[in-house]
Amino acid sequence: MIVIRPICSQDLDALMRIAEASGHGFTSLPLNRELLERKIRRSEASFSTEVAGPHDEGYLMVMEDTETGEVVGTSAIEAAVGLVDAFYHYRVGTEVYHSEKLGVRNEVETLTMCHDYTGAAELCTLFLDKNYRHSGNGRLLSKHRFLFLAQHPHRFGERVIAEMRGVCDEHGQSPFYDWLQKHFFSIDFPYADYLSGMGEKSFMAELMPRNPIYTCLLSPEAQEVISRVHPNTRPALKLLEAEGLRYRGYVDIFDAGPTVECQLTDIVSVRNSQLYTVQIGEPVIDRVQAIAANTKLVDYRAANLEVGLDDGETAVWLSEAQAQALKVEAGEPLRLLIS
């Protein structure tokens, strides 16, 4: 069975493999064993701590194939970004230059560095092994987070965002970053991206352009990729757009990939997921396909299952194996998102 669970210290080697496989532009998993170990400890603390509201918690979860014990994917939610480390974006805007006397009017697109998403929850660290990109595994790995948000909304910022990976080539070179490197940074994109993932972000404030950037002054190649996603990221963007997340004019400061956003309570799967009471057995009732997630924290589990619903649709019937995989017993609540 394929199950989502919180990451634990025994998953460090698997997380290292995922960090290596994820490639350039996957800032949230830099290839550094010490940092990944710290991420795991931070996630364990986040799951085990009672909170009154969101702060610097990070909930990192893994997808496990229980038949082999292999960890094959990750996904995560940051509770509230930018409260401890600066969280930078470019805000895409427009400046208008107009002379009524000359009959001239020009609109010029600008990029202005900002911290506008401070305090927002972030969907991040989504990666699935290529051998498991089938049977709805990618959908489960992404959408289970909405059930977690629905169950624990007080742990997260009211606005939810997701940064989409921007355009870069197989060597990790970004057309947008090439312009920044030439004029401001003097370090290549993979290294800048690595430093950002390591939490070393002071260089951004020190070296980034302090004034708005007129995009018409960028190279044609850099202009072309502003707010565009990496080809491998298009399926993830399509899924998030179906949930109601939209691009609102903010892009990444390195590769200019778009950031999409939505209020937590407006996310489609948050609204549509519902709580049911667990029953264990095999009654003769209608069966449905659903993403199921328990309501726990340290023992959080989620899976894509075929389950039974009673006529009143207040109880969900699971097999013994399903109940064990989800760590629930009869009479306990279970949150479902029915396909």
Distance in angstroms between the alpha carbons of the first and the last residue of the chain:
18
pTM confidence score: 0.91
Mean pLDDT, residues 183-196: 71
Of 39, 263, 86, 59, the residue nearest 157 (C-alpha) = 263
Residue-wise pLDDT tens digits, 268-285: 999 999 999 999 987 767
Mean pLDDT of the 89-102 span: 92
Q: Enter the DSSP assignment of 290.
A: E
User: Which superfamily does 2-89+115-269 belong to?
Assistant: Gcn5-related N-acetyltransferase (GNAT) (3.40.630.30)
The domain segmentation of the chain, as residue ranges, is 2-89+115-269, 273-338
Question: How high is the pLDDT of residue 181?
Answer: 81
What is the residue-averaged pLDDT of the chain? 91
Q: How confident is the model at residue 187 (pLDDT cuts 50, 70, 90)?
A: confident
Task: Encode 82-99: b = buried (16+ Cβ within 10 Å), e = exposed.
Answer: beeeebbbbbbeeeeeee
Is the pLDDT at 239 greater than 90? The verdict is yes
Chain segment 134-144, per-residue pLDDT in tens: 999 999 999 99
Class of 273-338 per CATH? mainly beta
Average pLDDT over every residue of 302-325: 90
Catalytic residue, chosen from 24, 89, 144, 230, is 230
171 is catalytic: no
Matching fold, domains 2-89+115-269 and 273-338: no
Q: Answer yes or no: is pLDDT of 61 > 80.
A: yes
Taking only the tens place, the pLDDT of each residue in 3-28 is 999 999 999 999 999 998 886 556 67
| Burial letters 267-301, b for 16+ CB under 10 A, else e | bebbeebbebebbbeeeeeeeeebbbbbbbbeebb
Strands in 53-195 per DSSP E: 58-65, 70-78, 89-99, 104-114, 121-128, 159-163
244: left (phi over 0), alpha (psi -120 to 50) or beta: left
Q: What is the pLDDT of residues 23-57, one digit of tens each?
A: 655 667 888 899 899 999 999 999 999 999 999 99
Pairing of β 274-280 and β 315-318: parallel
